[in-house]
Amino acid sequence: MEPRIACFFNEDFGMKRVEQILLVVLACITLPASAMAVEINAGMNDTWKDPATPKQGFFITVFPDTPPGRPEPLLFLAWFTYDVERPPANVTAIMGDPGARWLTALGSYSGDTATLDVEITQGGIFDSGVPVPDQTPGYGTITVKFTSCSQGTVTYDIPPVGVSGVIPIIRAAPDNEVVCTALQPQ
């Protein structure tokens, strides 16, 4: 005998109740953590932002091919942000905002997480090699953790200026999300 399933609903039962039952059933279905994890790949290359902090953000570039002498692939991050407090109103800049800052970070990644060393670059002049800008390594650490191909977090600790925190990030544009999804392990 073939199994048969029959569903009978009367007006008292209603479709709203069916929807509630389906939601409960779906909530009970669990997947192993490995099925839900995302792995960093070249599809993460993009501009990322926190909508709560306008005109700031991150460029993230993934280098999936392990360079010679490195045990793991690399992730590069450029953070476009501002100083920890506004400069006085009488401070001027010839180009741009005197409080604008950019930090760079580089490090290895594995799975969904990258651990990066922060550097600050300062003292240069626009489109000039003189004077040579100072690049200060060991300025802090950043951990980038992706929760999907479209979301993640940036956790930072920058001891010289006493700041640390967690920033939720999303893509500024979804262009590479399809690539990221396609490059996920099956």
User: Does residue 137 lie in a domain region?
Assistant: yes
User: Does residue 27 lie in a domain region?
Assistant: no
User: Does residue 81 lie in a domain region?
Assistant: yes
pLDDT at 22: 39
User: Does residue 28 lie in a domain region?
Assistant: no
8 Å CB contact between 122 and 128: no
- Classified as helix, coil or strand, 36 is helix
pLDDT at 137: 86
Q: What are the distances in angstroms from CA 46 to CA 40, 84, 97, 138?
A: 12, 25, 24, 25
pLDDT at 96: 53
The position carrying tokens 């992730």 is 75
pLDDT at 141: 98
CA dist 7 and 102 (Å) reads 62
pLDDT at 120: 84
**The domain spanning residue 142 has which CATH number?**
2.40.128
Read off the amino acid at residue 178. V
Domain limits at 177? 37-182
Q: Per the structure, how many domains does the chain have?
A: 1
User: Does residue 78 lie in a domain region?
Assistant: yes
Element containing residue 14 per DSSP (H, E): helix 14-28
Instruction: Enumerate residues 6+ apart whose C-beta is below 8 A from 139.
Output: 103, 118, 119, 120, 158, 160
Backbone phi and psi for residue 36, each to the nearest 5 degrees, phi listed first: -100, -15
Q: Per residue of the chain (186 residues), give pLDDT as tens.
A: 443 333 444 444 454 554 544 333 333 344 444 445 899 999 999 999 999 998 889 999 999 987 788 788 999 999 987 766 666 677 665 555 455 567 899 999 999 999 999 998 877 777 878 888 788 889 999 999 999 999 999 999 999 889 999 999 999 999 999 999 999 998
pLDDT at 3: 39
pTM for the model: 0.74
Read off the amino acid at residue 47. T
Which tokens sit at 152? Answer: 């993640």
User: Does residue 17 lie in a domain region?
Assistant: no
User: Does residue 61 lie in a domain region?
Assistant: yes
pLDDT at 83: 64
Which tokens sit at 148? Answer: 């999907």
User: Does residue 6 lie in a domain region?
Assistant: no
CA dist 124 and 87 (Å) reads 19
